[in-house]
Structure 1
Amino acid sequence: MKQNSRLWLALHTLGHIANEPDRMHTSAEIADHAGTNPVVVRRVLGRLREAGLLVSEKGHAGGWRLASAPKDITLADIYSALDENIVAPPPADYARSCAVESELHKHVTSVLLEAERSLVERLGETTLAQFQEV
């Protein structure tokens, strides 16, 4: 399975920010630490800001910081903010031309949706606080 780089960037970044939750972290600093471009960082962190997980401030002393305490942010919150599914079912409008294919599609879709629900549930059991000063 292909690793979701936006999810890993978000988890990595928020893990570091959780270690210094009161300090503003710049996109350039985060990008340098993560080995990526600041534009990529801003896109991912912008999604997290829209979800209420981060706040950002512009200007010389600006940057990013957590909107809540690390103990109040779960990995499921982060995953959901990115609005992606790691375990993606086939498209709902997938054309099924035979009965066997139709039944397989229904069964596999059901299994994949259950796996996704289970994943989110498990991610919800872990908070950012669990990664502070690891």
Structure 2
Amino acid sequence: MAQIKRFGFGLQALIVLALTSEQRSSAEIAEEIRCEPTALRKILAQLGEAGIVEVKQGRAGGYQLTRKPGEITLSEIYNALHEEEPLWNQMLDTTGNHLFGKKVNESFQKIMTDIIVQVDHVLGTYTIADLLE
């Protein structure tokens, strides 16, 4: 699953969890957001590893937020679900290993770094609570 889709489903799952103080099973969340349960469990596992959700195993298990929705930034979620390089980094594949290509690659690298910093900054200004409004 592409990173941006994981991010979208992850956000939706966290919104579902933010709307209740009780644990929710992955099946319940998957049904609510219309996501394939196996894919959602992987997303929730990544969010668990990042300390965003608490994972309880077993028959009475489920998922719940570890913090208040206003304390969880979208940047934190995006970074927890980050697996592959951003799509815009593919621009670097268009430059060659010749003098001109190397110069262009340096320029592209600066642009890519700026994009990453800006995306992180913008996402850092929003929380799950903002999505509940």
Smaller-chain TM-score range?
0.7 to 0.9
Query: 2: CA distance between counterparts of 1:108 and 1:4?
Result: 22
SS of the aligned residue for 2:89 comes to coil
2:61 matches 1:58 = no
Match of 1:112 in 2: 112
Query: 1: CA distance between counterparts of 2:87 and 2:73?
Result: 19
Instruction: Describe how 1:1-134 pairs up with structure 2 within 5 A.
Output: 4-20=4-20, 22-84=21-83, 85-86=85-86, 88-90=88-90, 96-132=96-132, 134=133
**TM-score, with structure 1 as normaliser:** 0.86
Structure with bigger helix share is 2
Aligned residues of 1:87 and 1:116 also touching (Cα < 8 A): no
Aligned residues of 2:56 and 2:62 also touching (Cα < 8 A): yes
Q: Which runs of 4+ in 1 moved over 6 A?
A: 91-95
RMSD of equivalent CA atoms: 2.4
**Percentage of matched positions with identical amino acids:** 27
**TM-score, with structure 2 as normaliser:** 0.86
